[in-house]
Amino acid sequence: MDDATVSPSAQLPQLDDRDLQLLSEVGRSWAGSAPPRDSWDRWLPVDRHVTFVDPASSREGRFVHIRTRPATGGEEVEAPPQAEEGGRLSLRRAAFFVRRAVIGPALRSTAIAEEQMGRLLALAVLSPDALSSVAYGPEAMIAILLLAGSGQLTLSLPIGAALTVLMIAVGLGYREVIKAYPHGGGSYIIASDSLGSQWGLLAGAGLILDYTLTVAVSVASGVEAVTSAIPSLDSVRVLIGLLVIVLLVVGNLRGVRDAGAAFALPTYMFVVAIALVVIAGLVHAGSHHFHPAPPAPHTAIEAVGVLLVLRAFSSGATAMTGIEVISNAVPVFHPPQSRNARQTLTVMVSLLVFMFVGVVLTAHFDGATPSSSETLLSAIARKSVGSGVLYGFVQLSTTLVLLIAANSAFNGLPRLLYFMARDSWVPRLFLRMGDRLAFSNGIVVLALPAALIFAAFGGRTQPLIPLFAIGVFIAFTLAQAGMVALWLRRRERGWRHGLVINLLGAALSLAVVVIATITKFLQGAWLIVLLVPLIMLACRAVHAHYQRAASALTPSPHTQHRAAISARARDPSRAPQERLSPDSRPSVSQRAAERQDSPGEIHGFAVVPIAVLDLAALRALAYAVSLRQPVLALHVSPAEDEAERFQQAWQAWGSHLPLEVVISPYRAVVAPLAHYIEGLHTQRPDLTLTLVVPELVVARTWQRILHNRVAPRLRSSLIRYEGIVITTVPFHLPT
């Protein structure tokens, strides 16, 4: 069963026994071809326990020694927070301080456990998408019924009842999901685990579109709530919405706890506001013996029929988006995570049902309908609580919760992209956590297309509704179907109960997908039908590239790197120990390294930064050894568990060279490398430090975003230092 737990160290692959055995076989080819391991430690002309001085501030910093691991022969040091700056240019420093001012100080990787939430905070952070949808779901349903004339608005009651059954069925289904996947299991993970990777990819593609449209629709609805109360702002609705998206990005870049604290109050304000409107509206209706008021007359432009009723049903189903967010985010809850997540989901679905049913009933009894200048919720609020302070409170809370409802998408999509990147469907840059332990790349990637869609549709909700719901109900269907397959496979205690619930949820969700696709195809659903397979094709192209790269980079005992490092092959008359010996360590020169212009004056050592012990790394190590200089391998890990995994791989390979592991608890890579190398160079400025960097060369330009480009960034950081030579060992990946 797939694990939905996120980790800052997911970029280093987990090696199984077969992988370790393969590395061990590859490492044997080094035996006898290079000097023994202990010789390399004696020949290294610098102290690996680095200190460094920042010349710009005259402050001494240091890489803090953590502990020695005699069993591995390697040392661990820790990169300090200052290493994040990664350069000495004033422009970079300014950018660094601006980033700190906007999103706050970086958090250590070990703080990920602290970025968890209790039930009250989690409800506020994860439920705005679902709860706020009652502001546009009932309106979308009634707007379709109005096409048949105001006399057909009574159909809102049976359609609303059917939607209520759907909400409860899907909500109960996701309770079973959390029970079966206590570490978190959204639609992508469930479908991949139970139905196969291609079905999981389909669920992922649907959710990518759903999360993107959630941001656009939520912000558009929030802006419409503002313009309903203040019509003069209608001309700047697009600008208002774009500013809100920017604020959401900043809030989420600051991390889970900061975003939750900012968004908790509007969520609970909205719940109270809807309760006020519904209770006041029903009391007012009771005073008239629950006789519905006649709605404003609307001329029929379509005949009522099955197709129109189904369109109204599928439009009203948009009130269900966001139900899956909690099941996908179980790890963010305080322990016991599974139980807290199930309880929070129950509360959220109960509130959603109460609010949806209440709004539909109140609109029915008040005879309220939406118009081009006023939303349905604004209309029933005026009739229920008047146009005074309470109306202002309702509109304010509605505006705020709709504007932050997109926050659920900002929690959901980056986490989804993390899991898809872990399976190599999307670029692995989505595995990386930002300074505040948020998935910064996923947050930015969500904001850009959502802002474009919002602006392209003029910041209006109604044109976006036909695009909505199809993607999320594809994911709902696959999640529930995956649970059906899981129950049939496991047949553990209580499986029949879970099977019935998930089978019902799958059938109803599939019905919504079919209905929405057929009834809304010409109104814009064709775009979703087109985009889902296009996203899947793009993901398959990424996956195929990673598979080819993995095949090319996997070390093999039959690779011919032995000749590249074999000292005897290069000079059979001299043993490796004669060419490199402790006595050959260079003495301090009177001239700086870059002013040594004859071969006899130049002495140095090589440093090889390694992220993964693959074939590209082994070739870089082999090239460094062939230079007949002391060699130090260097690895940067964001957390202790990744450092241990790398040490395990290094030991399986044979630990033929000195290794230094730098723990970078703030997840920076280039800056700690640059500072560490600077610290080595500062010890012996008379020596030429050769930085040998493995670099993957891709066949096509678009493939560059699929790999970390550390080499050019290191070159940019270190090129201004005298005596540091930067060379790359290219490894050409197949097309």
In this structure, what is the dihedral angle of CA atoms 170, 395, 103, 94, given to the nearest 10 degrees? Answer: 140
Whether the predicted pLDDT of 43 surpasses 80: no
Q: Dump pLDDT digits (tens) for 646-659.
A: 888 888 888 888 88
Q: Dump pLDDT digits (tens) for 137-180.
A: 888 888 888 888 877 888 889 999 999 999 998 888 888 888 88
Give dist(CA 488, CA 322) in Å, integer.
27
Share above pLDDT 90 across residues of the chain, in percent, rounded to a whole number: 13
Q: Which residue has the tokens 């502001």?
A: 135
DSSP state of 304: -
For the ranges 515-524, 526-535, 559-568, 690-699, which has the lowest average pLDDT?
A: 559-568
Contact 124, 130 (CB under 8 A): no
127, 707, 213: which is closest to 446 by C-alpha? 213
Long-range (24+ apart) CB contacts under 8 A made by 626-631 are 626/564, 626/565, 626/570, 627/690, 628/567, 628/579, 628/580, 629/580, 629/604, 629/605, 629/690, 630/40, 630/43, 630/44, 630/45, 630/580, 630/605, 630/606, 631/40, 631/605, 631/606, 631/607, 631/657, 631/658
Contact 281, 383 (CB under 8 A): yes
Give dist(CA 600, CA 46) in Å, integer.
20
Q: What is the pLDDT of residue 59?
A: 42
The residue ranking higher by pLDDT, 259 or 657, is 657
- 336: cis peptide before it, omega within 30°? yes
Give one DSSP letter per residue of 341-374, joined into a string.
Answer: HHHHHHHHHHHHHHHHHHHHHHHHHHT----SSS
Give dist(CA 190, CA 498) in Å, integer.
15
The side-by-side arrangement of strands in the sheet containing 64-69 is 64-69, 74-78, 659-663, 631-637, 604-609, 688-697, 724-732
pLDDT band at 104 (very low <50, low <70, confident <90, very high): low
Structure token digits, residue 308 = 């129109």
Q: What is the pLDDT of residue 73?
A: 44
Q: What is the pLDDT of residue 378?
A: 87
Q: What is the pLDDT of residue 263?
A: 65
Q: What is the pLDDT of residue 352?
A: 93
Whether the predicted pLDDT of 94 surpasses 80: no
Interacting residues of 267 by C-beta distance below 8 A, sequence separation 6+: 123, 124, 127, 128, 131, 401, 404
pLDDT band at 600 (very low <50, low <70, confident <90, very high): low
Give one DSSP letter per residue of 471-519, joined into a string.
Answer: HHHHHHHHHHHHHHHHHHHH--TTHHHHHHHHHHHHHHHHHHHHHHHHH
Structure token digits, residue 511 = 């019905």
Q: Residue by residue, what is the 3-state secondary structure of 3-27?
A: CCCCCCCCCCCCCCHHHHHHHHHHH
Average pLDDT over residues 253-275: 76
Q: What is the pLDDT of residue 177?
A: 86
Q: What is the pLDDT of residue 355?
A: 92
Determine the 3-state secondary structure of 659 from DSSP: strand
Buried/exposed 133-153: b ≥16 CB within 10 Å, e otherwise = bbbbbbbbbbbbbbbbbbebb
Half-sphere exposure of 708 (CA within 13 A, CB side): 19
The residue ranking higher by pLDDT, 482 or 65, is 482
Average pLDDT over residues 430-439: 72
Q: What is the pLDDT of residue 644?
A: 85
Cβ-in-10-Å burial (0-12, 13-18, 19+) of 713 comes to: middle
Average pLDDT, the chain: 78
Contact 686, 46 (CB under 8 A): no
Whether the predicted pLDDT of 446 surpasses 70: yes
Q: What is the pLDDT of residue 351?
A: 93
Q: What is the pLDDT of residue 535?
A: 94
For the ranges 106-120, 295-309, 381-395, 411-425, which has the lowest average pLDDT?
A: 106-120
Q: In whole angstroms, how far apart are CA 200 and each of 28, 261, 539?
A: 40, 33, 12
Contact 731, 692 (CB under 8 A): no
Whether the predicted pLDDT of 538 surpasses 60: yes
Secondary structure E strands in 106-218: none
Q: What is the pLDDT of residue 668?
A: 76
Whether the predicted pLDDT of 560 surpasses 50: no
Give dist(CA 284, CA 291) in Å, integer.
10
Give me the domains of the chain, ranges plus CATH numbers. 17-102+598-732 (3.40.50.620), 118-508 (1.20.1740.10)
Q: Dump pLDDT digits (tens) for 494-515.
A: 788 888 988 988 898 898 889 8
Q: Residue 467, Cβ neighbours under 10 Å: how many? A: 25
Share above pLDDT 70 across residues of the chain, in percent, rounded to a whole number: 78
Q: What is the pLDDT of residue 168?
A: 92
Whether the predicted pLDDT of 259 surpasses 90: no
For the ranges 23-32, 174-183, 314-323, 474-483, which has the lowest average pLDDT?
A: 23-32
The residue ranking higher by pLDDT, 107 or 486, is 486
189, 150, 275: which is closest to 2 by C-alpha? 189
Q: What is the pLDDT of residue 103?
A: 59
Average pLDDT over residues 673-702: 85
547, 546, 539: which is closest to 188 by C-alpha? 539
Q: Dump pLDDT digits (tens) for 210-249.
A: 889 888 888 888 888 888 778 888 888 899 889 989 888 8
The residue ranking higher by pLDDT, 36 or 206, is 206
pTM: 0.76
The residue ranking higher by pLDDT, 560 or 103, is 103
Q: Which residue has the tokens 């330009």?
A: 701
The residue ranking higher by pLDDT, 231 or 57, is 231
